[in-house]
A = this chain, B = another copy of it.
Amino acid sequence: MYDVMEAIGAHEIVVEAPEHHQNLATLEPHQIEKILFAYRERLTDLEKDKRFQQFLILKNYPGLFNRHPHSHIMAMPVIPRRIDEEISGTLDYFRRKERCIFCDIIKEEISMKKRVVLETVHFLVFSPFASRYPFETWIVPKAHSSDFHHIREEEMEDLSVAIQSLFIRYHKLLSDPPYSLILHTSPVRSPFHRSEYHWHIETRLRIGLREGFEWGTGFFVNPTPPEDASAYLREVE
């Protein structure tokens, strides 16, 4: 017997700039801030719809069907497998240590420094340990927060600077590489909401894909260790 999932959801497109040629490396922080405002506003509104359990913000650059700068807001009636696995890991760690695993990683990365790309007042941008993809980068709020749409205005201002700085570095270092960006945030509604979870952004460049091995095994070969990737990104002028 299978549960039948209701085929409902929301898929909204955020047009990021009026100009066709713009991207996250060329936009100014105050323009990126407006995109973040739009995300927060839409998620706050979508949360009222009791059918939605999970939000996902994502961006493919360049767009696969439309090259005008845009990103996607998705609202789903179910928690996706990957987010569910992340939450299980987070809860497992919390039960053992009574601490958030993301908060511990942030502390560790800041003290070690070797995988940090940049640090702002409220955010840490770093290459995660055992990165699956070359130049995979995470942007994480330093203060614990499970829900992106509870972000404060000063944090959005700060985040827009962090985003711009990261994407300028990608742009200069790797000649405007194609990438995907996702934002993971806690499921929104009791009993699935998880205050132990820590919202974050992950970016993945679409370069050097091997495909067959990763698909066949579920194992990942990454020719650029995170320590090297973060050093290259740090050193961009």
Contacts and interface: CB of A to CB of B under 8 A. Distances in A.
Contacts of A211: 60, 64, 180, 204, 206
A58 B213 contact: yes
Copies in the complex: 2
A151 interface: no
B80 A215 contact: no
A83 interface: yes
A34 interface: no
Given A60-B210, A64-B210, A210-B64, A180 B215 contact: yes
Interface in A81-95: 81-83, 85
Interface string A214-232: 0111110000000000000
Contacts of A202: 216
A181 interface: yes
Interface string A180-207: 1110100000000000000000101010
Contacts of A180: 211-212, 215-216
Interface string A51-63: 0000010111000
A212 B82 contact: no
A74 interface: yes
Interface residues of A, number: 30
B212 A182 contact: yes
Interface of A: 56, 58-60, 64, 72, 74, 76, 80-83, 85, 180-182, 184, 202, 204, 206, 209-213, 215-219
Given A60-B210, A182-B212, 18 more contacts: A56-B213, A56-B216, A58-B216, A59-B212, A60-B212, A76-B217, A80-B219, A81-B217, A81-B219, A82-B217, A83-B217, A83-B218, A85-B218, A180-B212, A180-B215, A180-B216, A182-B215, A206-B211
17 contacts: A56-B213, A56-B217, A58-B212, A58-B213, A59-B212, A76-B217, A80-B218, A80-B219, A82-B215, A85-B218, A180-B211, A180-B216, A181-B212, A182-B215, A184-B216, A202-B216, A204-B215
